[in-house]
Amino acid sequence: MIRPALAHSKGLTERGREIASLDGTKRLNWKGKCQLLCKSVLYRWIEQYERGGIHALGGKVRSDKGVRRVFISRAWTNAVPFNDWIKATIQDDLKAYVRGLIKGDGQFKQTRVLASEKLIAITGAHGFRVNDPQREAKVFHIPAAFIQVEAQFKAVARHRKDRKASEDDKPRIRRTTAGLEPMEVVVMDVHHINVYVARPDGTYSTPKLIAFHDIATNRVFCELIPFTERGGVRNCDIITGFVNMCQHPAFGVPQFLYVDNGSEYRFRSCRDRSYPQISWLCRIAGNR
């Protein structure tokens, strides 16, 4: 911004003309923000540059940068005669106390009052007390930010009181089908169809749908089971649907088959556990 003015020596009319042309204009500064320029700012920048170079235009870094200057509150920090180590210790103890209150489902106002009383007790244990009630209320006043910064510990209280809500907020695993081959993982389930289908005798029934979902390709093989009388899906219906899928040229035998624990899948005696159900289904499909 000041480069055109610096091209002319100090005191020349050309420098003043360049500064006057920038006066009242807006430029993007080094922070990327639009800044309104005025003569006083431009003259100050030129003076700083001519005195110390480009580095003189940079902001000065505080000599105490990174050093904690306030513990708990500014009023308490200035009032107590402790060194920084004791102040930091008291602050850590008070933080632990506040976190315990929040974990116990303490409300904000209640936590703030109890934290103030706790700070009076801890500070008194270190030998500093305030006899004036008005000054005591000001010195040991707990800032709202001191309580709010520990708000993440509310999750502990909710986990104790409402376990379901706590479990629902847990991060979930994002599953992907990358690397899966067709028919590597198939999910089988029985679905109810709320559509009336007429029987030959004039009555109506709602059929069931046995669905086989291929996770890798999102293809679905369906087997529709009508009913001539009251009842549900039987073991033979599951076996028939599975065999038909295995013999279909577009599907075949799955590598893994996921089913629930419905009674329609209990087609093998529970006393014989030499083969899992999927192996037994595959043996049936091979025999057919």
Q: Which helix (H) or strand (E) holds 125?
A: helix 108-125
Q: What is the pLDDT along the chain (288 residues), one digit of tens a residue?
A: 888 888 888 888 888 888 888 888 888 877 788 888 888 888 888 888 888 888 777 767 666 666 677 888 999 999 999 998 999 999 999 999 999 999 998 899 999 999 999 999 999 999 899 888 899 999 999 999 999 999 889 989 889 888 888 888 888 888 888 889 999 999 999 998 888 888 888 888 888 899 999 999 999 999 988 887 777 888 888 888 999 999 999 999 999 998 887 776 665 544 444 434 445 455 544 444
* φ, ψ of residue 28 in degrees (nearest 5): -80, 125
Angle at CA of residue 151, ends 148 and 153, nearest 5°: 150
Q: Which of 156, 216, 228 is nearest to 185 (CA)?
A: 216
Start-end of H helices in 53-104: 74-79, 84-103
C-alpha 280/C-alpha 43 separation (Å) is 91
| Beta strand 185-192 pairing with 197-198 | unpaired
Which pTM was predicted?
Answer: 0.46
Q: Would you state the pLDDT for residue 265?
A: 67
Name 195's bridge partners.
Answer: none
C-alpha 167/C-alpha 169 separation (Å) is 5
Q: Are 77 and 87 in contact (CB under 8 A)?
A: yes
Side by side, the strands of the sheet bearing 256-258 are 220-225, 208-214, 185-192, 256-258
Q: Would you state the pLDDT for residue 275?
A: 38
C-alpha 160/C-alpha 184 separation (Å) is 41
Hey, what's the torsion of the CAs at 257, 263, 269, 273, to 10 degrees? 40
Q: How many CB atoms lie within 10 A of CB 214?
A: 23
C-alpha 254/C-alpha 25 separation (Å) is 73
Q: Computed over its alpha carbons, how large is the radius of gyration of the chain?
A: 39
Classify 24 as helix, strand or coil: coil
| Beta strand 256-258 pairing with 185-192 | parallel
C-alpha 128/C-alpha 202 separation (Å) is 94
Q: How many CB atoms lie within 10 A of CB 272?
A: 8
Q: Would you state the pLDDT for residue 210?
A: 92
Angle of helix 108-125 relative to helix 84-103, nearest 10 degrees?
A: 150
Alpha carbons within 13 angstroms on the beta-carbon side of residue 185 total 9
